[in-house]
Amino acid sequence: MLKGKSVKYISITYAILAALFYGFGVPLSKLLLKHISPYLMSSLLYFGAGAGMLIVIFITRRKIDKEKFTSFNRKDVKYIILMILLDIIAPIMLMIGLTKTTASTASLLNNFEIVFTGLIAMMFFKEIIGKKMWVAITLILVAGILLSFEDINNLEISIGAIFVLGASLSWGLENNCTRMLSKSNPLYVVVMKGFGSGLGAFIIAVSLNQIDAIWYYVLMALVLGFFAYGMSLFYYISAQRHLGAARTSAYYATAPFAGSIFSFIILKETITVIFILAFVIMAIGTYLAIRENNAFNDSLFR
């Protein structure tokens, strides 16, 4: 019994670490964007994640060999290509958005990934969305509208928020592509994402002549990608093995909120009344989305 509890608590720690690693990625990315272009930054983050996961695979290869995963087949090729293309677009849009809005706002707007993932799953994969999820989508939408205006009184739309929402939409599409590869080894999926998307973003950076950066900032971006993208997903996958997908997602859903808090601490960003209101509304929406996911997953095992 004690051993079972220990495994559970360790898994919860992993899920929280996954959220924290991803959460601090947004404010630290904003700092590095002062010295690296959004296109090169996107490339380095994914290269860092891919290289990091190769190291993890090498270290844990004995454990990986013992686990049974389905091999990729021809049907998976289209999903792999779409996954990589969307993972090229999404981080570039997020990085551009970060240059035009606060990191706290960008972090919170990342919750729209939940909305887009659910709506796309409903439209293209015929998944059922319950009442709680519809209420959650509505609340997150309201909070997103509040965050998308630079000046509520004059109704000036934030260009940065639009780019972040575009990134969330791309990741929502990408999540539904990745779910089609879920039977395969997730670490290998991350490596494909890392090197495929990293190379794609790098080609775009070169074509736009946006590759000038001092070497130590490049190294910092690679390390940030390893932790914020690579290790975050590694801990997420590790937590799923014992907590299950629903409970892990419940802890990981704190990542956007952690990102906002880190932004205030690291970047000293101003906390506005509108942001606090949006924060509370989005927190309620995210909670309802988690409850909906838990109910759906529990029904699968009855």
Q: What is the pTM of this model?
A: 0.85
Q: Which two tokens stand for residue 139?
A: 């609340």
Residue 167 structure tokens = 């990134």
- In the beta sheet, which residues pair with residue 157? 149
Q: CA 287, CA 139: separation in Å to the nearest integer?
A: 11
pLDDT of residue 131: 80
Given a contact cutoff of 8 angstroms between Cβ atoms, the answer to whether 148 and 157 are in contact is yes
Separate counts of helices (H) and strands (E) for the chain: 14, 2
pLDDT value, residue 98 = 94
CA distance 191 to 62: 18
pLDDT digits (tens, 9 = 90+) for 71-112: 777 888 888 899 899 999 999 999 999 999 999 999 988 888
Structure tokens at 252: 């990981």
What is d(CA 122, CA 211) in angstroms, rounded to the nearest whole number?
A: 40
Angle between helices 2-32 and 245-252 (to 10 degrees): 40
Q: Tens digits of per-residue pLDDT, 219-255?
A: 999 999 999 988 887 787 777 666 665 566 667 778 8
* Interacting residues of 11 by C-beta distance below 8 A, sequence separation 6+: 238, 239, 241, 242, 243, 248
Cβ atoms of 108 and 285 within 8 Å: the answer is no
In angstroms, rounded to a whole number, what is the distance separating the alpha carbons of residues 62 and 83?
28
Question: What residues in the chain have per-residue pLDDT under 50?
Answer: 1-2, 296-302
Q: What is the model's pLDDT at position 287?
A: 82
Residue 112, exposed/middle/buried by CB under 10 A (0-12, 13-18, 19+)? Answer: buried
Residue with tokens 């990191």: 103
